[in-house]
Amino acid sequence: MAYDDQNVFAKILRGEIPCKKVYEDEFALAFHDINPMAPVHVLVIPKGPYVSFADFAREADAETVAGFFQAVNTTARELGLDPQGYRILANHGPTARQEVQHFHVHIFGGTDLGPMISRVGG
Ligand code: 5GP
């Protein structure tokens, strides 16, 4: 799938749509999810045009991949989630119901998060 630069996270990166920023560096921007599913629900996005996890893993260079995941770690630490724990999640493609076609990692925390996932399918 080609990258669509009109997706909502591309607009946030360009400053066309506001966000509640948590952390930013040369590799990533982290901001609160507009529809939080936990007391803390933050999204971390790379600055480059990657549609999904698979696109990012395939196309980004090693420094960009490492820098992005360091930014996820720094974001979780700065949110104060590190000692208690948190969950990271990335939806890739239709069966995962990826809504926004710009790669992002969700960080959930601030409470006991329950089981990893509710049982689905057969
Ligand atoms: P996905 O299903 O693609 O993994 O998750 C997309 C996430 O982006 C959802 O949790 C949704 O609430 C969030 N989201 C969608 N539009 C916006 C927006 O304009 N601003 C913010 N901060 N989050 C958004």
Tens-digit pLDDT profile for the chain (122 aa)? Answer: 899 999 999 999 999 999 999 999 999 999 999 999 999 999 999 999 999 999 999 999 999 999 999 999 999 999 999 999 999 999 999 999 999 999 999 999 999 999 998 888 87
The amino acid at residue 59 is E
Q: Among residues 32, 92, 102, 104, which one is catalytic? A: 104
Q: What's the total number of domains in the chain?
A: 1
- Give the domain CATH number at 40: 3.30.428.10
Residue 106 lies in a domain: no
Whether this model's pTM surpasses 0.75:
yes
Residue 34 lies in a domain: yes
Q: What is the pLDDT of residue 86?
A: 98
Residue 109 lies in a domain: no
| Domain encompassing residue 13 | 8-99
Residue 110 lies in a domain: no
Residue 14 lies in a domain: yes
Q: What is the pLDDT of residue 1?
A: 84
Is 104 a catalytic site residue?
Answer: yes
Residue 35 lies in a domain: yes
| 103 Cβ contact partners less than 8 Å away, ≥ 6 residues apart | 45, 46, 50, 51, 52, 53, 55, 56, 90
Residue 119 lies in a domain: no
Ligand 1 atom nearest the C-alpha of 99 is 3
Report how far ligand 1's centroid is from the alpha carbon of 9 (Å). 8
Residue 104 lies in a domain: no
- DSSP class of 9: H
118 lines ligand 1 (CB under 6 A): no
